[in-house]
Structure 1
Amino acid sequence: MKIASILKTNKKWFSFMQNYSPINCSFYDQLENAIVIKEKVLLEYLNENQSIEKYEGILLDIYSRDKAEFVKLADGCSVRLDFIHKLNDIENIGSCKI
């Protein structure tokens, strides 16, 4: 399901999507490292139903859109960085607000 259709059908999700919180800088570095070395990872993240989903594969890129940051997955999907729960066994804890 595309983000646009999710936002139209789920106002609670839309509200949740509005408040991006920059992730922990150390966790961001771990994501970047996995991209650079093309490491196969296990990513756990919050999906559009606000439940944990798992992805196993390669991370391609990190990019910004609409004042939020996303990681592009090899399967073509993108995940907002503050929705990521874990990268392998590393938890995404805290934020990097400057």
Structure 2
Amino acid sequence: MPAAYHPVSCEFHDVLEALATTRRRTQIRFNGSDGLPQQRDAVIQDVFSREGAEYIVISSGETLRLDQLVAVDGAQAAQAAR
């Protein structure tokens, strides 16, 4: 069973949406499913929600949950205020 989803801030979500719209290659840093830091230089192809969590699809073919992201295009990920 996957861990509970922790929403990202609206500001960070806006950065992801803007990058998906412009289709610009960007640096994406995230924690892999093993918890280890990873990095990709890729294009964000889609931002979507499914079953209570939000995701991005990147040009490498990977789908990442937004709460796995550490930084995208230099913008630090931040959890939404609760």
**TM-score higher than 0.5 here?**
yes
Q: What is the aligned partner in structure 1 of residue 11 from structure 2? A: 26
5+ unaligned residues in a row in structure 1: which ranges? 1-13
Aligned residues: 82
1:33 aligned partner, one-letter code: A
Give 1 or 2: higher strand fraction.
Answer: 2
1:86 aligned partner, one-letter code: A
1:75 aligned to which of 45, 49, 60 = 60
Q: Deviations over 1:38-80 (max 9, x none)?
A: 1111000010110110010100001122211100011111000
> Of the two, which has the highest radius of gyration?
1
> Which 4+ residue blocks in structure 1 deviate beyond 3 angstroms?
none
Q: For the Cα contact (< 8 Å) 2:6–2:79, is it kept in 1?
A: no
5+ unaligned residues in a row in structure 2: which ranges? none
Q: What is the aligned partner in structure 2 of residue 55 from structure 1? A: 40
Q: What is the aligned partner in structure 2 of residue 66 from structure 1? A: 51
Give 1 or 2: higher helix fraction.
Answer: 1
Scaled by the length of structure 2, the TM-score of the pair is 0.91
**Using the alignment, how far apart are the partners of 2:38 and 2:77 within structure 1?**
15
1:96 Cα deviation after fit: 5.0
1:94 Cα deviation after fit: 2.7
